[in-house]
Amino acid sequence: MVLLNDERIAKIHCVDNKEKILSLKQRHKNILIDETRNQISNKSDLFCYARESIIKKLIEATNYLPNGYQFLIKEAYRPLSRQKKSFEEAFNYYKIQYPLKKDDEIYKVTCEYVAPVKVAGHPTGGAIDITLLKDGIEVDMGTKFNDVPMAPENLTYLYSDYIIDTAKVNRTILIDCMKKIGFANYPTEWWHWSYGDCYWAFLNNCDAIYSATDESEIYKLNT
């Protein structure tokens, strides 16, 4: 399993294709937004914005949803300042949880849950945190969204063997939909999928096409 602290990802070449970052709201009847934001730290009004290709691909992915299912977007774009703060908060949390581990070990554990700023997908507009609804209700995915991966079960890992069969079925639906449209999953988080960022580029042996974008630039382009 390749984590985001892998130096090969930091070396990925990126030429931003300058796609716009736009709102995911009201794009399709089966793409809904969790506007409560009660499970994320992102306070930006752009939390549900994504690159144009991400939006088009998600619309395409709705064709693969079983009857009664919908996508629920928890978070998409995340400002760089928030990404940095989230990493620092997670690092400090794990340092308390694992007092005997060295800082480099804590850094690796932190990368299982939060991306380092240099290679983070959310600030590029190319990553989304997504789950499923069935008949308007969030389905069982084995853990809550944004749960912390904990050994040995690692329930948040996409292919954890320790989740119940119902959750496995629901994850399989999400996996099938997202892979068919070319998204890559970050394997420690069943909800995190990306396209065009450094992690996606590493897995696809190509250059990244989305780089981190400052929040002010998005506002400027959308006014």
User: Is the whole-model pTM more than 0.85?
Assistant: yes
Per-residue confidence (pLDDT) for residue 149, from 0 to 100:
83
**Residues known to be catalytic:** 189
Tens-digit pLDDT profile for residues 158-214 = 999 999 999 999 999 999 999 999 999 999 999 999 999 999 999 999 999 999 999
Q: Which domains does the chain have, with CATH numbers?
A: 7-221 (3.30.1380.10)
Per-residue confidence (pLDDT) for residue 177, from 0 to 100:
98
Pairing of the two strands 127-134 and 192-194: antiparallel
Residue 129 marked as a ligand binder: yes
**Residues near 201 by beta carbon (within 8 Å), at least 6 away in sequence:** 12, 14, 207, 208, 209
Nearest to residue 140, comparing CAs of 155, 119, 123, 129?
155
Pairing of the two strands 69-75 and 31-33: parallel
- Flag whether pLDDT at 223 surpasses 70: no
Per-residue confidence (pLDDT) for residue 78, from 0 to 100:
95
